[in-house]
Amino acid sequence: GNSTGEDSHPIDRAVWVLKRLLNDPPSPPPANVPALDPEAPGFATMSAKDQLAVHRIDPACADCHRKIDPWGIPLEHFDATGLYRTEALRLVAEEKGGARTKEAWAPVDAGYTMPDGHPVQGVEELKAYLLREKEEQFAKALVSKLTTYALGRSLEFTDEEGLNQLAKDFKKGQYRLDLLIESIVTSNLFRTR
């Protein structure tokens, strides 16, 4: 998911998690963000985590990536098509600017420290972290997404009180999806849309 078919793209995956699961999208990158140079010596055999560490050396990039990187790196054991891997295959050019036909293998490092200091190693620990540390934020994001769908419109500032009540009801109902759907369709938000 969220890859080009050639590589996993941990940043695209992280942005997806932040937007869709936590309703906390990162700020758009500045217009002058320098691209990573895949032809830099040794770059192709670095893990994605190490490649991003090189990118974070630039102070303009470091701020955003502190928020983004922790959500994509734990998914690195899955390649562009979702297959499990322990090494990442990369195609590199024999000469600068040439066709990328030579294979290079890089280790996969799916461990990262979350912004609050919790270490996470791989997708299972990321899932556990989300359930343990981000349960209410995830639940509110789900409430928001389902309510947006049910209303057939974008949410507005005036919807906040109703959303908060739906989120409280969702938690009180032990996060049962059937009860959430019932709460949405019987809410004032839905009935007066």
Compute the average pLDDT of residues 131-150.
96
Q: By percentage, how much of the chain surpasses pLDDT 70?
A: 97
pLDDT in tens, 25-68: 998 888 877 777 777 778 888 999 999 998 888 888 888 899 99
Q: How confident is the model at residue 1 (pLDDT cuts 50, 70, 90)?
A: low
Radius of gyration of the chain (CA): 20
- pLDDT of the residue at 50: 92
Q: Is 7 helix (H, G, I), strand (E, B) or coil?
A: coil
3-state secondary structure of 102: strand
Residue 3 pLDDT: 58
The residue ranking higher by pLDDT, 8 or 174, is 174
Rounded Cα distance, 182 and 192, in Å: 15
The mean pLDDT value for 143-172 works out to 97
Distance CA 40, CA 180 (A): 51
Q: Using the predicted structure, report yes or no on whether residue 139 has a pLDDT greater than 70.
A: yes
* pLDDT score for 165: 96
Most confident range (mean pLDDT) of 38-52, 61-75, 100-114, 135-149 is 135-149
Cβ-contact 3, 12 below 8 angstroms: yes
Q: How confident is the model at residue 153 (pLDDT cuts 50, 70, 90)?
A: very high
Burial of 30 (0-12, 13-18, 19+ CB in 10 A): exposed
pLDDT in tens, 118-133: 999 999 999 999 999 9
State pLDDT tens for residues 165-189.
999 999 999 999 999 999 999 999 9
The C-alpha atoms of residue 149 and residue 155 are separated, in whole angstroms, by 10
> Hey, CA dihedral for 74, 78, 80, 86, is it positive or negative?
positive
- H-helix segments, 73-159: 122-133, 135-151
Predicted confidence at residue 32, as pLDDT, reads: 79
Place of tokens 């934020």: 137
Residue identified by tokens 């419109």 is 153
Q: Residue ranges per domain, the chain?
A: 10-132, 135-191
